[in-house]
Structure 1
Amino acid sequence: MTLKLRSIEFSLPDWPDKAFNGIREAEKRLADIAGSAGKGSTRFQDTCSRIGRAASQGESAILANINDPIEIRALTYLLSVPAENHAPIMLTERIIKRMEEIKSPMSRLSLMQLVRAFFFRFDNLVSPLGLQTLIALIKDQLRTLNRGAQGGLSTYASSSSLLFSETGPAKLAEKAQREAIDLDVLFKRLSLTGLGESRYLTLARCQYYLRTLETIPINQSHSILSEICKKEVFTTPLDESRLVGHGVLEIIIDRSKGSVIHTDWRNAILAIAGDPRVPKSAENYQRWWSLLGEERVALMRGWLSRFDLKLFLSILEQSAKDSGERDMERMFAPRKKFMEGLLEEGVIVESRLFLSTYATRYLKQRYKKEDLPAYARVRSSRTSMIYLNIKNKVYLVEGSHSFPIKIFNKLAPESRLPNYNIDEVTDEQLRNGEMERFHRTYGLNGCLSQTHRDLIWQNSVLQFMKSNGVLIRAAKVIRQESYRAYKEKFGSN
């Protein structure tokens, strides 16, 4: 006789994450107990102290103090923990070979400590010539594990060709990107999650950021940009002479060459290296721009000219609105068209902002400090200026608040315009001082100061540029609705 029972429908709720807290805590205690096994003995502590003292005396002293397995265990322990009471121990080929001679295979504890030291210190653990020897030792020791072994060492053994290499961090980054795996997921698979602050994983993350930067669409927003702008990321040493930030800057600048740089890409450069238009003795310039080469510096200066002009025009427009003067508002549109036309013609080599108290306050309300370019201050409540270098042949200064446009075919040696050592000027020094310096040095010819009488000032500047080897078509810098009147009055060029 078969007894049939009616099925009972029921559901179990998902386990809350806190239900596993006890298990996790027990696992951690077990790991701590296992990791500290044998480390509380007086003999072990004395051995650690002795090897720690020998570390300050160099390789020979360390070699003299590692002659048996407990000393190997003490040495690998000291390598795997922060050097608080002794000099940092740097492995050499001779020390590595001595470790292998004394005890092979190593105890699982000594091997785990050595592997941990490899990940945490990586390229800071061993002299350059000894890194390959250390890697060979670790791989050989991992091969001696029993086939049934489990845990981290087993995972490391099965992935030794990927993990234990001079280019291991780069290999991890490449694998994550090639297989479209989140880097943290890959770390977990490889039993690396407890090594988050290690030099090895830090380099892997940085390599991942660099590889991602090389492949994302050019000049588009991307979440990676906010990651690379973190100080702890871009100041990470990449190799003996460069930081991660240098690699980031090279990729962003080189990939943006020949285009108008995206705001987020430009801001990333400013956040890392700052504006290159500062004295070459400045700390930021020495740390970043001096290593990037003049071509990259020139590219950034060009992109910043576009940004400078955008900022200046926004200041000019707001000043006109705030003044309530119809003449200022009327003059804004033709000045905006003229300067934007110069920019689009690609003749602006360099620019520099000189900002009043009003302008500084206006910009700081709208931009983060790190996103603003370098500028000089004007000891004036209202008047701001912009300096434009036109193809290294003509030098122009435009300003707000009844500032006559000024143009020169060369700059006086003591000119304040391109002098980045001068970061503060007065209104008078730019309004009249630049003309006076030019006249004292070169005479009356070769410069022009012109008030903004519509069409007259544009023609005066265009003719001055033409006579100095810079030909700009009037149609590019004069508004369409004014161009017919301009042609009737001055002809076309």
Structure 2
Amino acid sequence: MSKLQLPPLKFDLPQWQPGDLDLWNHKTEVLRERGATENVGVSNGIKERAGELYSEIIRGGDLIAEIRRGKDIRALIWLWLEYEDVYKRLILGDQIFKRFESIRPKMSKLALYDLTLFYLQNFDDVKGFELLCDFLKRQYQKQDFSRNDSSLANIKLYRKIIFNASGPQSLVEEAVSCNKPLNDILRNVGLPEGRPGRFSEACTNIYYLNQVEKLAIGENSTLFPEMVQEKVAKAAFKNGLFIGHALINILIGKVLGAGVEMPENWMKVILAIAGDPRVPKGAKSYQTWWSIIDNQYIVSVRGWLSRFDLGLFLKAIDAFAKRRGKDDLQRMFPARKIFLEGLFELGVVKNTRLFVGRSANSFLLDNYRQSELPSYAHLADNDKCIIYMQVGDYHIIEGSHSSYLWIYDRLPSRQHINNYDINKFGARELGVGLKEVYTREFQERQDDLFSEPSMYPFRIQHNPNNLSWQRSALKALHYCGLDIDAEAVLSEQDYQYLRQCYGLDPSEY
């Protein structure tokens, strides 16, 4: 058998050039610096020494004398960083920093990074703040970093801004003047991400709150998309509040101070942060946000959301009528809109809840983000849309299409209109079904609209002839003790027709 002969292998390798290893050396240095600043645990030796120093601090011994080597510096700084009660016992005087420099004129990167974290974590709550800032600036000045792309190198570059009482204000001004997100600016100057602390909190507070305070009522802001992000909204503020709480208070306070309605764009911001305050008080969103907001503010928001509900209800009906070419619905729409909005203008609407079918739900989600919408219930019926309104101490249920207008003096106990834990309904459940439940519970059967002894619930058909349904509604509300100004709920033409043909006494309608 003949042997297999392979051709000789030839290697043609180029000569190494001086710069060929630059990339490798650069990556090695980057990893080395990351090892000094990221995901580094503390050795058992450092922890043991920290325990010894802690005991010395508790005994009130001579701490300065105990700091004799670089390991002691690292252990003490780690104690400051991890245990608030340790640094709270001390005033960071000049002696301790001189001691550090006498032992290690140039600190290790690990110790410097920990001390930087301690500064950022405690910032305006440090005793001996100016001395700490001066020491950190000197230490960063002494350090040599291989590239300007490491976090420590960037901190060195911006050390005079960062280690300064006005540092947060300066960084905020930079973000505003450059029209950049604050987080980008903080990242650019080398501040570590994902580490909560008083420095970043101060930046966030100044950045968002100062900007919001300057907004005119209803003015849009490029900050809003950032404000609604959970990591921003839940940034610590003060006294146990989040930034989101402070922002909500500012928006509501400005609107109440101006005595105007909450603009829809501002309401969407509030909803995106905190959700609807009308949900059960045990709900997580209510506990996180609204339980800490002043009750008067909550009452105001609920009122504004009722107006929002109505606006969505009317938009959904209008869109459906136009899309499906429903001439009868389009003809009835302006009168219904004027009547319902008029009730709001008169200030008699206390509360609302919106119920939307699949078609209306699609319309809402096509025009709003889910987080920007108030809480609403879903109807099994495809094209229906219904709104419930508490008017004074009475209850109105109005629906789209051929729905009746219902007016109740009270709601039966076995209904779930105001139970936000129940989110799915049928249209009949809010119409004839509700009347049946009402009749069974209160043992009052009613065969026609104005029979005695009980006239509730009123069931009004939307007959547009001769203002039939508007007159019936005004008469029913008058029976409820609510004398509604007809001029407020009718168009000018319809009001003049009513006045001339029927007069202005609703009991005569």
Shorter-chain TM range is 0.7 to 0.9
**Is residue 243 of structure 1 aligned with residue 242 of structure 2?**
yes
Q: 1:337–1:477: 8 Å Cα contact kept in structure 2?
A: yes
- Give, as a single letter, the amino acid of the residue that structure 2 aligns with 1:284: S
> Would the alpha carbon gap of residues 147 and 208 (structure 1) be closer, same or farther in structure 2, given more than 3 Å must change?
closer
Residues in 1 aligned to 2:400 and 2:41: alpha-carbon distance in whole angstroms: 76
- Give, as a single letter, the amino acid of the residue that structure 1 aligns with 2:301: M
> Would the alpha carbon gap of residues 304 and 195 (structure 1) be closer, same or farther in structure 2, given more than 3 Å must change?
same
- Give, as a single letter, the amino acid of the residue that structure 2 aligns with 1:399: G
3-state SS of paired residue (2:308): helix
**Is residue 60 of structure 1 aligned with residue 63 of structure 2?**
no
> Would the alpha carbon gap of residues 240 and 28 (structure 1) be closer, same or farther in structure 2, given more than 3 Å must change?
farther
> Would the alpha carbon gap of residues 142 and 111 (structure 1) be closer, same or farther in structure 2, given more than 3 Å must change?
farther
Cα deviations by residue, 1:368-417 (Å, 9 ceiling, x for unpaired): 22222211111212222101122x32221100131110112333333322
- Give, as a single letter, the amino acid of the residue that structure 1 aligns with 2:190: G
Cα deviations by residue, 1:135-166 (Å, 9 ceiling, x for unpaired): 36515746988999999679757985525xxx
Residues in 1 aligned to 2:399 and 2:52: alpha-carbon distance in whole angstroms: 66
Q: 2:389–2:397: 8 Å Cα contact kept in structure 1?
A: yes
3-state SS of paired residue (2:241): coil
Cα deviations by residue, 1:417-465 (Å, 9 ceiling, x for unpaired): 2221221112221012332333323743443111112222212222333
In the alignment, what sits opposite 2:17? none
**Is residue 193 of structure 1 aligned with residue 189 of structure 2?**
yes
Q: 1:376–1:424: 8 Å Cα contact kept in structure 2?
A: yes
5+ residue gaps in structure 2? 1-20, 145-152, 445-453
Residue 215 (structure 1) shift: 1.1
Residue 102 (structure 1) shift: 8.9
Cα deviations by residue, 1:204-225 (Å, 9 ceiling, x for unpaired): 1343111110112221111121
In the alignment, what sits opposite 2:132? 138
- Give, as a single letter, the amino acid of the residue that structure 1 aligns with 2:401: H
1:92-491 equivalences under 5 Å are 92-94=87-89, 101=96, 104-106=99-101, 107-110=104-107, 116-117=113-114, 119-120=116-117, 124=121, 131-133=125-127, 135=129, 138-139=132-133, 141=135, 156=159, 162=165, 169=168, 171-172=169-170, 181-182=177-178, 193-195=189-191, 197=193, 199=197, 200-201=199-200, 203-239=202-238, 241-257=240-256, 258-322=259-323, 324-390=325-391, 392-439=392-439, 440-441=441-442, 443=444, 444-454=454-464, 455-491=467-503
Identity %: 26
- Give, as a single letter, the amino acid of the residue that structure 1 aligns with 2:189: T
Alignment partner of 2:46 out of 43, 47, 51: 51
Residue 466 (structure 1) shift: 3.2
> Would the alpha carbon gap of residues 124 and 144 (structure 1) be closer, same or farther in structure 2, given more than 3 Å must change?
closer
Q: 1:459–1:490: 8 Å Cα contact kept in structure 2?
A: no
3-state SS of paired residue (1:241): coil
Residues in 1 aligned to 2:364 and 2:412: alpha-carbon distance in whole angstroms: 31
Residue 320 (structure 1) shift: 3.1
Residue 243 (structure 1) shift: 1.5
> Would the alpha carbon gap of residues 298 and 379 (structure 1) be closer, same or farther in structure 2, given more than 3 Å must change?
same
Q: For structure 1, which segment, 45-54 or 422-431, has the greater mean C-alpha deviation from structure 2 after superposition?
A: 45-54
Q: 2:271–2:371: 8 Å Cα contact kept in structure 1?
A: yes
- Give, as a single letter, the amino acid of the residue that structure 2 aligns with 1:225: F
Q: For structure 1, which segment, 115-124 or 316-325, has the greater mean C-alpha deviation from structure 2 after superposition?
A: 115-124
**TM-score between the two structures when normalised by the length of structure 2:** 0.73
- Give, as a single letter, the amino acid of the residue that structure 1 aligns with 2:75: L
Residues in 1 aligned to 2:277 and 2:390: alpha-carbon distance in whole angstroms: 16
Q: 1:111–1:138: 8 Å Cα contact kept in structure 2?
A: no
Residue 67 (structure 1) shift: 4.0
Residues in 1 aligned to 2:337 and 2:42: alpha-carbon distance in whole angstroms: 77
Residue 304 (structure 1) shift: 1.7
> Would the alpha carbon gap of residues 471 and 24 (structure 1) be closer, same or farther in structure 2, given more than 3 Å must change?
farther
3-state SS of paired residue (1:162): coil
3-state SS of paired residue (1:388): strand
Q: 1:173–1:205: 8 Å Cα contact kept in structure 2?
A: no
Residues in 2 aligned to 1:363 and 1:121: alpha-carbon distance in whole angstroms: 48
Residue 297 (structure 1) shift: 1.6
Cα deviations by residue, 1:168-203 (Å, 9 ceiling, x for unpaired): 64x5578769xx755979999999801152532354
Residues in 1 aligned to 2:180 and 2:384: alpha-carbon distance in whole angstroms: 53
Q: How many residues were matched structurally?
A: 449
3-state SS of paired residue (1:476): helix
Residues in 2 aligned to 1:35 and 1:399: alpha-carbon distance in whole angstroms: 63
Q: 1:183–1:205: 8 Å Cα contact kept in structure 2?
A: no
**TM-score between the two structures when normalised by the length of structure 1:** 0.75
Residues in 1 aligned to 2:48 and 2:413: alpha-carbon distance in whole angstroms: 61
Residues in 2 aligned to 1:34 and 1:80: alpha-carbon distance in whole angstroms: 23
> Would the alpha carbon gap of residues 447 and 59 (structure 1) be closer, same or farther in structure 2, given more than 3 Å must change?
farther
User: What's the Cα RMSD here?
Assistant: 4.5
> Would the alpha carbon gap of residues 476 and 118 (structure 1) be closer, same or farther in structure 2, given more than 3 Å must change?
farther
Residues in 2 aligned to 1:331 and 1:187: alpha-carbon distance in whole angstroms: 52
Residues in 1 aligned to 2:32 and 2:273: alpha-carbon distance in whole angstroms: 44
3-state SS of paired residue (1:387): strand
